[in-house]
Amino acid sequence: MKNRTFFLIPVLLFITAWVGTGCLKKNAETPNAANSFDPELTVNYSITQLNTKLPTEGAPILIDSDWTVAAIVTADDRSGNFYNQLTIQDTTGGICILLNLNSLYTNYPIGRKIYVQLKGMFLCNNHGLPQIGATPAPDNSGVLQASGLPTKEISKHIVVANFPNPIVPYTTTLSEIEIAKVSLLNRLITINNIELVNPNYDNIYSDPAIATSIKLQDCSGKKILLRNSNYAEFQNYTTPSGNGSITGIYMIYNGVPQIMIRDTSDVQMNNTRCDGTTVKEPILVSIDSIRKLYTGNDTVLGDYKITGIVTTDAANKNNGNAGNIIIQNGNKAIIIYFGSSTTGVPDLGDSVMINLTGSTLSQYSNALEIKNIKTAKVTTLAAGKFVTPVPLTIAALNANFNNYESVLVKIMNAKIATSGNYSGSKTINDGTGTIILYTASTATFASQAVPTITKTFQGIATPYGSTNELKIRNPVLDVY
C-alpha cells in the first residue's frame, strides 16, 4: 500500500450543485421586497450582439462603446453554488458577470431586472464561456481572464430595476446540446428524462474538499456533466437515484458541456430509471465474501455493505497515504481506498459500516482494495474499538500470506537483523523464517532507532509486488 500520485482534471471556476432526497428549496422570500420601479434606461445592445464580439481565449477585450443591455438575473449566489458572479439573460441570450462582492442575492436576486452599462468593462472567453468583468488578470493556469468588478465600481455598471420577473427555462435535449451549443451558453435550460450515470457512487453533490463533476445521461446514453461546488450549502445532500428533469445554467469548459444548478429544487428525479430499476437496500455480507468476488479483473460491486474495525493509523503516516484505511472483521481484512487527497477518513479503532454499492473491487500491488468510493458511504458505529492481532510465526505467515493479506498479525520472539532507524526495509527473523518490516520515509517514527533485542512485532500483512511485508502502525503500539 505505497503512496500514489493522484491527478485532477482542470475544471470550471467555482461551480456547483446537484439534487437529492434532502432537498434545499428555493426560499419563497427574498431579501428584496417586490417592487415595480424601473429607471427605463435606453437599451441599445443585446447579449447576443455582445457575444458575437467574444475574443479568442486568453485575450479579454475592453468595451469602449456606450452599450447598455437589459436582462433578468437567472442565477445568484444564495446557495453558494455560484461565487462572485451573476448569470443574466435577455430574450436573445445569456452571459456571466463577475463581481468582487459576496451575498449578491441581497441586491440582485433571481428574477431581478438589471441594466448593465458595458463601457469600461472587459469581455472574455473563459475556456469557451462568455463572461464580462473588470481588468484582466491571470487565472490559475496563467491565462488572462476578466476579474471581478471592484465593489466601488459595481453601481457604475449595474442599475437595478423591477422585481420579480418570470423566467421560463429553455427546454432542450442532450442531443441538441451534446456538441456545445453556443447560443444557449449562460442560459437557463431544462433537460427532461435524465438521470445520474452512477447514483451509488455520486451519492452526494460534491466532495467536501474539491468541486465535483457528476455524470448525467438520458435514456439513449447521451451525457452531460453536472458541476457542483464544494462550498454549496447542499454539498453533502443526498443526490437522487431516479430519472426526471434538471434545470440549471448551461455552460462549457474546453468544449465539454456542463450544467450548474441554483439549488436542489432544480433537480426533480424521482421516477423509475431508464432501465426500469430502482436503487436497492444493500445487504450485509462478510469481508471474506467480498474478497471472493475478485476473479482477476476489476469488479463493480452490487448492493452490498460490510462492517469492520479500522486497523490503520493515519496519524502516524505509515498507511500509504491519507486516503487509505484498512478494516478488519474476524480474521479477514480489506483496504478501502477513498483517493489520495481525501480527508476525514475514519480513524484507528473506529467501528464502521460501509455501503459498497457501485464501488470497484480491484488490486493494487497484489493487494485487494475497494476503490471508487466516497467517505459519505461510511457510517461510524463506535469509536475506541480494537482488533486482537492474529499470532503467527513468520513461517506460517509466509506459507499462507494470501489468507492473511491486510490482516493485523503478531510475530513474537523476533529480532531485526541490522541496526539503524525504521525508515525503509528491515529484515526481521523469529527463527522460523524472515519477512520485511517496511516503514515509509514519511512515517512519523521513520527516524527512530529500531530495537536491537528480541521483541514482539504487531503489524499489517502487506503484499508489495512479490514481496511479503509487515507494516507496524507505530512503535509504541506495535513493538514491545
4 in a domain, yes or no? no
Q: Are 309 and 341 in contact (CB under 8 A)?
A: no
Number of compact structural domains in the chain: 4
* Cell reading at 370: 475497494
The predicted pLDDT at position 279 comes to 67
> Which residue shows C-alpha cell 505509515?
318
The predicted pLDDT at position 180 comes to 75
Domain end point (choices 219, 238, 271): 271
419 in a domain, yes or no? yes
Share the mean pLDDT of the chain. Answer: 90
28 in a domain, yes or no? no
* Cell reading at 42: 435606453
Model confidence pLDDT, tens digit, residues 14-60? 333 333 333 443 333 345 567 899 999 999 999 999 999 999 876 89
For residues 180 and 263, membership in a common domain is answered with yes
For residues 346 and 414, membership in a common domain is answered with no
> DSSP states of 250-285 as a string?
EEEETTEEEEE-SSGGGEEEEEPPTTS--PPPPEE-
The predicted pLDDT at position 58 comes to 66
Closest CA relative to residue 188, chosen from 211, 170, 207, 209: 170
For residues 53 and 108, membership in a common domain is answered with yes
Give the integer Cα–Cα distance in Å for 439 and 418: 15
Closest CA relative to residue 365, chosen from 463, 459, 267, 278: 463
| Residue 13 reports pLDDT greater than 60 | no
For residues 196 and 250, membership in a common domain is answered with yes
CATH number for position 77:
2.40.50
Model confidence pLDDT, tens digit, residues 106-122? 999 999 999 999 999 99
| Residue 342 reports pLDDT greater than 60 | yes
Confidence band for 7, pLDDT divided at 50, 70 and 90: very low
The predicted pLDDT at position 4 comes to 34
Model confidence pLDDT, tens digit, residues 364-413? 999 999 999 989 899 999 999 999 999 999 999 999 999 999 999 999 99
Closest CA relative to residue 261, chosen from 288, 229, 283: 229
Model confidence pLDDT, tens digit, residues 96-109? 999 999 999 999 99
For residues 375 and 399, membership in a common domain is answered with no
For residues 321 and 337, membership in a common domain is answered with yes
352 in a domain, yes or no? yes
For residues 260 and 307, membership in a common domain is answered with no
Q: Are 62 and 91 in contact (CB under 8 A)?
A: no
For residues 357 and 333, membership in a common domain is answered with yes
The predicted pLDDT at position 10 comes to 36
> DSSP states of 10-40 as a string?
---TT------SS--PPPSS-SS--B-----
Percent with pLDDT over 70 in the chain: 92
For residues 58 and 115, membership in a common domain is answered with yes
Closest CA relative to residue 71, chosen from 115, 109, 123: 115
339 against 133, higher pLDDT? 133
For residues 321 and 367, membership in a common domain is answered with yes
The predicted pLDDT at position 29 comes to 39
The predicted pLDDT at position 33 comes to 62
Domain end point (choices 382, 409, 425): 382
For residues 431 and 410, membership in a common domain is answered with yes
Model confidence pLDDT, tens digit, residues 171-211? 999 999 987 788 999 999 999 999 999 998 898 899 888 99
For residues 378 and 417, membership in a common domain is answered with no
Domain, as residue range, for 300: 283-382
Model confidence pLDDT, tens digit, residues 403-423? 999 999 999 999 999 999 999
11 in a domain, yes or no? no
| Residue 260 reports pLDDT greater than 90 | yes
> Which residue shows C-alpha cell 430499476?
277
| Amino acid present at 146 | A
